[in-house]
């Protein structure tokens, strides 16, 4: 039977526990079988992804140990900057060195789609009572380009792309995590198929032409004034 936090915190009761800084479900289970009553899963000092944490929490509960998750202080900008640096150095998260939602093959100063999208994300966050979460994303958006530019020596600029806030929006709308990737893919299937067909026709090459307008310059007319 799993114990609750209230059970462990009874006056005068002594509990046996430890801090686990290794991303291993097997080790979590071994500690529970050894008699430890609580296990602190340390995300602050150990590279554990959210799915890994969920799996380790379940492992602890399966052997009757009460899991606690220690997370980085998301209000401390110095700590956030340091953690982003660890991600870029492949020392944290999934060890791939990527801050997902940062950077674009074409847009370097800013992704105009992301700029427009962000204003709607902010409105939704305010309506859903998620201002704190929005502020967190906003801080990462500001700090990550600085850290990436410093560590990767990228001076042309790094900015968020339109997908940086997508997961946050899906979460606010109550969409299951399992549908995030399918939703991303469905919208792109036609383009991916077209690229594949082009590769087959052009011997594994995709043509990316540059465009130059040859139209005469015209003044902008509001919709209501157009013929």
pLDDT of 158:
86
Give the active site residue among 94, 104, 133, 135: 104
pLDDT, one tens digit per residue, over 135-161 is 999 999 999 999 998 998 877 778 899
Residue 2 DSSP SS3: coil
Q: Is the pTM of this model over 0.85?
A: no
Q: Tell me how far CA of residue 138 lies from CA of 56, 100, 145, 164, in angstroms.
A: 29, 14, 12, 10
| Percent of the residues in the chain that have a pLDDT greater than 90, as a whole number | 30
The reply to whether 204 belongs to the active site is no
The reply to whether 89 belongs to the active site is no
Q: Which two tokens stand for residue 138?
A: 């906003």
- The catalytic position among 42, 133, 135, 163 is 163
123-138 pLDDT tens trace: 999 999 999 899 999 9
List Cβ neighbours of 206 (8 Å cut-off, separation of 6 or more): 195, 198, 199
- Mean pLDDT (the chain, rounded): 85
């Amino acid at each position: 039977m799993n114990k609750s936090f209230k059970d462990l915190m009874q006056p005068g009761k002594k509990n046996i526990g430890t801090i686990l800084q290794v991303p291993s479900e097997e080790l979590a289970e071994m500690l529970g079988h050894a008699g430890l009553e609580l296990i602190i899963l340390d995300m602050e000092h150990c590279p554990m992804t959210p799915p890994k944490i969920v799996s380790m929490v379940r492992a602890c509960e399966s052997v009757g140990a009460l899991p606690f998750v220690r997370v980085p202080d998301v209000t401390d900008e110095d700590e956030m900057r340091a953690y982003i640096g660890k991600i870029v150095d492949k020392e944290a998260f999934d060890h791939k060195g990527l801050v997902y939602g940062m950077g674009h093959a074409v847009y370097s100063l800013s992704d105009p789609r992301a700029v427009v999208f962000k204003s709607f994300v902010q409105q939704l966050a305010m309506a859903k009572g998620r201002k704190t979460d929005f502020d967190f994303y906003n801080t990462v958006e500001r700090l990550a380009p600085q850290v990436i530019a410093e560590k990767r020596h990228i001076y042309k600029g790094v900015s968020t792309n339109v997908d940086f806030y997508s997961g946050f929006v899906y979460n606010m709308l109550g969409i299951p995590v399992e549908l995030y990737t399918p939703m991303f893919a469905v919208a792109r299937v036609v383009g991916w198929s077209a690229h594949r067909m082009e590769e087959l026709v052009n011997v594994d090459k995709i043509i990316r032409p540059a465009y130059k307008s040859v139209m005469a310059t015209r003044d902008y007319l509001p919709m209501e004034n157009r013929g």
